[in-house]
Amino acid sequence: MEVRLEIEQTRINVEFLPSEDELSSIYSEKMASALQFSIAASGPVDFRLVHNDHLSLIILLAAHPFAKGDLTIPLHVSPLFANACDVFSRYRPVFLSATNKPYTPRSTGRPGLAFSGGMDSTAALALLPSTTVPVFLDRPHRAKTTLYNKSAAKATLAFLEAKNIPNISLSTDVEFIRNPIGFPTDLASGIPAIALATHFNFDSIGYGTVMESAYRIGHKKARDYEHSPHYRLWSPLFSSAGIPLILPVAGVSEIGTSTIVHHSQYRDMARSCIRGQWPRSCNECWKCFRKQLIDQAIKGQTMSDEEFKRAIQSKEVASKLSSEFISHENVLGWALERMERGTVLDLLYQRLVASTYSLNHLNSFYPNSINLIPPKYRLHVLEQLRNYLPEMKIEDQQRMVAQDFSKYVESTTFKSKVIDFKTLIKN
């Protein structure tokens, strides 16, 4: 695959030209018809100053699912970054040279945060130093994404402005190079923050990755994220570019991020739903359903069977709940465990794998996740975590990371519970 790059003061254009081999490979299935995207700023930014290692990292985050063989990147990068690229096996990044100076932030460096305005990245913002710059990714409107409503994002940015919190919004259409639409790699949501690293003197790039995603808690099988292929692939690349990953909520579950935001100065700002017209949420989407359930559980309220039946009128909610293994089902389990459940809600609870084990640890933080923070910020983030949440008990830590439900989900007990619930919501 060849990369074409155009850099103007307020715009970066990237185009991928796949080889015949790539076009006839299975990787082409994920390619959209046009493999080009741009990053655009409306403010006083000069993208011509972006460090080549950062441009290359942006290209890798975007091209990763499609590339096979040589990935020709027309840039001179630092030897450190070029070496870190040895990690790729399916494809090989080829640069003009590896003789460029590395990026070294000045001592006044600060974190940049990939920011969506949702609960998780807002909790990350609350835990990071006050110098952190949240970088909002503005999605362009296109016909197929009409459900996306920008009013919540605008309200979030206005809130930050009013509190004098530095912030910036860049627009990028990188999600449109993938089929179906979405980030080509999960860390691609940080592309705007990476593009601004030189401008803001960033010394790290933060994400609101929660424990469910990092450690796969609430999945079939948990993993030790620090030693997982995902972290071992990307973390050295960010570090070699002088902007190591900083993951303040990687040891915090979705329950914990809700708790943090509710007790922070951002409690009135965050919202996960990107469809409703601010300040309303759409009350139709999967995010709204989960958030409503968590909120009610935190407040000690319950969801009645009537309310639940109304919620599953939404096709999206019904389809998510009908899948064999519901994503982040531990969070649903935590909320339902606390509620007085009617017959219908109880059938949902019983079908969750999460109904078979204790979930109290979800409102505490996993201390080992502090290893996912650069040394400069460890103490600050740890103090902040302790401000909001208790530390997870050692026995819960061990149990959680060792969780493996692969056998249980194949059992007839589990399968019949899933069928019972599906039959019920079909009627």
Residue number of the CB atom closest to Zn ion: 273
For the chain, give me the number of helices (H) and strands (E)? 18, 10
Long-range own/partner contacts, residues 228-236 (CB < 8 A, 24 or more apart): 231/372, 232/87, 233/87, 233/88, 234/187, 236/84, 236/87
Coil, strand or helix: which one is 91? strand
Length of the chain: 427
Q: Are 134 and 170 in contact (CB under 8 A)?
A: no
63 close to 71: Cβ distance less than 8 angstroms = yes
The distance of closest approach from Cβ of residue 271 to Zn ion in the complex, given in angstroms and rounded to an integer, is 9
Stretch that binds Zn ion, among 35-43, 139-147, 280-288, 328-336 (CB under 5 A): 280-288
We find the least distance from the C-beta atom of residue 299 to Zn ion, in angstroms, to be 19
Residue with the two structure tokens 């570019």: 241
- Read off the tokens for 403: 């969780």
CB of 315 to Zn ion, least distance (A): 13
Cβ atoms within 10 Å of 95's Cβ, excluding its own: 21
- Alpha-carbon distance of 181 to 175, in angstroms, equals 6
Residue in the structure block whose two tokens are 């990053």: 39
71 sits near Zn ion (criterion: CB under 5 A) = no
Site size with Zn ion, rule: CB under 5 A: 6
* DSSP-derived secondary structure letter, 102: P
Q: Which is nearer to Zn ion, 170 or 288 (by Cβ)?
A: 288
Which member of 288, 345, 352, 362 binds Zn ion (CB under 5 A)? 288
- Least Å distance, CB 294 to Zn ion, is 14
Q: Which of 5, 7, 32, 282 binds Zn ion (CB under 5 A)?
A: 282
Question: Which residues are CB-contacts of 415 (< 8 A; sequence separation ≥ 6)?
Answer: none
Using rule CB under 5 A, residue 311 touches Zn ion: no
Beta-strand runs (E) in 199-338? 202-206, 245-246
Per CB under 5 A, the segment of 172-180, 267-275, 322-330, 355-363 that binds Zn ion is 267-275
- Segment near Zn ion (CB under 5 A), from 113-121, 219-227, 245-253, 270-278? 270-278
Distance CA 163, CA 66 (A): 42
| Positions 217 through 246 that interact with Zn ion (CB under 5 A) | none
Report the residue number, 12 or 273, with the smaller CB distance to Zn ion.
273
The residue within the footprint of Zn ion, chosen from 197, 247, 250, 285 (CB under 5 A), is 285
Q: Which is nearer to Zn ion, 19 or 327 (CB)?
A: 327
Smaller CB separation from Zn ion, 311 or 372 = 311
Least gap, CB of 277 to Zn ion (angstroms): 11
Binding site for Zn ion (CB under 5 A): 273, 275, 281-282, 285, 288
